[in-house]
Structure 1
Amino acid sequence: MPTPTLPTASALDTARVLMGVILPAVAEGPIIRRPRAVGLAARLELDARAVGILQQLHARYPDGPLLLKLPFRRQAVVLAPEDVNTVLARSPEPFSPASSEKLAVMAHFQPSNVLVSRGPERTVRRALQEQVLDTSHPVHHLADRFVPVVEEEMRQLLVGAEHSGSLPWSDFAEAWQRVVRRVVFGDHARDDTELTTMLNRLRKDGNWAFLKPVRRRTRERFLARIRDELAHAEPGSLASVLAAVPEGDGAEPVDQVPQWLFALDNSGMVAFRTLTVLATHPQAMEAARREVDADASGRRFLPYLRACALEVLRLWPTTPMILRQTTQPVQWARGLMPARCGVLIYSPYFHRDEHHLRDAHNFSPERWLRDEDDGWPLVPFSDGPVVCPGKQLVLLLTSAALASLVGVRDFSVEEGQPLDPSRPLPGTIDNYSVRLGVSPRM
Structure 2
Amino acid sequence: MNQRPLPKATVGEPAAVIAEVFLPAAAKGPLLRRPRAVAMAERFGLDERAVRRLQKLHSRHPAGPVLLRLPFRHQALALAPDHLRYILGHSPAPFPTASSEKRAALAHFEPRNVLISHGPDRAARRRLQEQVLDAGHPVHQLAGHFMPIVRGEAEVLLRRAEPGGLDWAAFVESWDRILRRVVFGDHARDDRELTDMLTRLRADANWAFLNPRRTKLRNRFPTAIEERLAAAEEGSLARFMAGMDTSGKAAPVDQVPQWLFALGNAAMPASRTLAVLAARGEQAGPARQEARRDETGGRHLPYLRSCVLEVLRLWPTTPMILRQTTRSVQWEDGVMPARCGVLIFVPYFGRDDRHLDHAHDFRPGRGLEEEKPGGWPRIPFSDGPAACPGKQLTLLLTSAMLAHLLRDRQFTVAPHHDLAPGKPLPGTLDHFSLRLAVEPLPTE
Q: Which TM-score band (shorter chain)?
A: over 0.9
CA contact (8 A) 1:138 1:392 kept: yes
User: What SS does the aligned partner of 2:418 have?
Assistant: coil
Q: In terms of mean alpha carbon deviation, does 417-426 or 31-40 score higher?
A: 417-426
Q: Map residues 280-319 of structure 1 onto 2, 5 A cutoff.
A: 280-319=279-318
Amino acid at match of 2:186: D
CA contact (8 A) 2:371 2:377 kept: no
User: What SS does the aligned partner of 2:132 have?
Assistant: helix
Mapped to 1, the partners of 2:44 and 2:433 lie a distance apart of: 15
Give the superposition deviation at 1:248.
4.4
Matched, 1:77 2:63: no
User: What SS does the aligned partner of 1:11 have?
Assistant: coil
CA contact (8 A) 1:42 1:426 kept: yes
Partner of 1:9: 9
Partner of 2:417: 417
CA contact (8 A) 2:298 2:403 kept: yes
Mapped to 2, the partners of 1:86 and 1:238 lie a distance apart of: 33
Q: 1:435 to 1:272 in 2, by over 3 A?
A: same
Matched, 1:341 2:371: no
Give the superposition deviation at 1:2.
8.9
Matched, 1:158 2:158: yes
Give the superposition deviation at 1:217.
1.4
Mapped to 1, the partners of 2:372 and 2:437 lie a distance apart of: 35
Identical-pair percentage? 58
Q: Map residues 30-45 of structure 1 onto 2, 5 A cutoff.
A: 30-45=30-45
Matched, 1:368 2:364: no
Q: Map residues 131-150 of structure 1 onto 2, 5 A cutoff.
A: 131-150=131-150
Deviations 1:111-166 (A, max 9, x none): 00000011111000000000000002100000011111011111000100113x21
CA contact (8 A) 1:78 1:343 kept: yes
Matched, 1:321 2:320: yes
Deviations 1:355-384 (A, max 9, x none): 221211000010121225554220000000
CA contact (8 A) 1:357 1:373 kept: no
Mapped to 1, the partners of 2:239 and 2:199 lie a distance apart of: 23
Mapped to 1, the partners of 2:224 and 2:416 lie a distance apart of: 38
Matched, 1:437 2:437: yes
Matched, 1:401 2:398: no
CA contact (8 A) 1:185 1:239 kept: yes
Matched, 1:185 2:193: no
Q: In terms of mean alpha carbon deviation, does 241-250 or 41-50 score higher?
A: 241-250
Mapped to 1, the partners of 2:338 and 2:109 lie a distance apart of: 27
TM-score by length of 1: 0.98
User: What SS does the aligned partner of 1:95 have?
Assistant: coil
Give the superposition deviation at 1:416.
4.0
Mapped to 1, the partners of 2:309 and 2:219 lie a distance apart of: 35
CA contact (8 A) 2:2 2:335 kept: no
Partner of 2:197: 198
Give the superposition deviation at 1:414.
2.3
CA contact (8 A) 1:367 1:373 kept: no
CA contact (8 A) 2:106 2:116 kept: yes
Amino acid at match of 1:364: R
Mapped to 1, the partners of 2:322 and 2:421 lie a distance apart of: 32
CA contact (8 A) 1:415 1:436 kept: no
Matched, 1:58 2:58: yes
Amino acid at match of 1:308: C
Amino acid at match of 1:223: P
Q: In terms of mean alpha carbon deviation, does 355-364 or 366-375 score higher?
A: 366-375
Partner of 1:379: 379
Mapped to 1, the partners of 2:367 and 2:318 lie a distance apart of: 19
Deviations 1:228-262 (A, max 9, x none): 12222211111101121112421110000000001
Amino acid at match of 1:331: Q
Partner of 1:351: 350
Mapped to 1, the partners of 2:175 and 2:284 lie a distance apart of: 21
Find runs of 4+ consecutive structure 1 residues off by over 6 angstroms: none
Q: In terms of mean alpha carbon deviation, does 2-11 or 82-91 score higher?
A: 2-11
CA contact (8 A) 1:231 1:243 kept: no
Partner of 1:222: 221
Q: In terms of mean alpha carbon deviation, does 44-53 or 165-174 score higher?
A: 165-174
User: What SS does the aligned partner of 1:412 have?
Assistant: strand
Deviations 1:35-88 (A, max 9, x none): 100000000000000000000001111101011100101110111111001100
Amino acid at match of 2:341: G
Mapped to 2, the partners of 1:359 and 1:373 lie a distance apart of: 16
Amino acid at match of 1:335: G
Partner of 2:67: 67
User: What SS does the aligned partner of 2:128 have?
Assistant: helix
**Unmatched segments (≥5 aa) in structure 1:** none
**Unmatched segments (≥5 aa) in structure 2:** none
CA contact (8 A) 1:413 1:434 kept: yes
CA contact (8 A) 1:416 1:435 kept: no
Mapped to 2, the partners of 1:408 and 1:239 lie a distance apart of: 33
User: What SS does the aligned partner of 1:68 have?
Assistant: strand
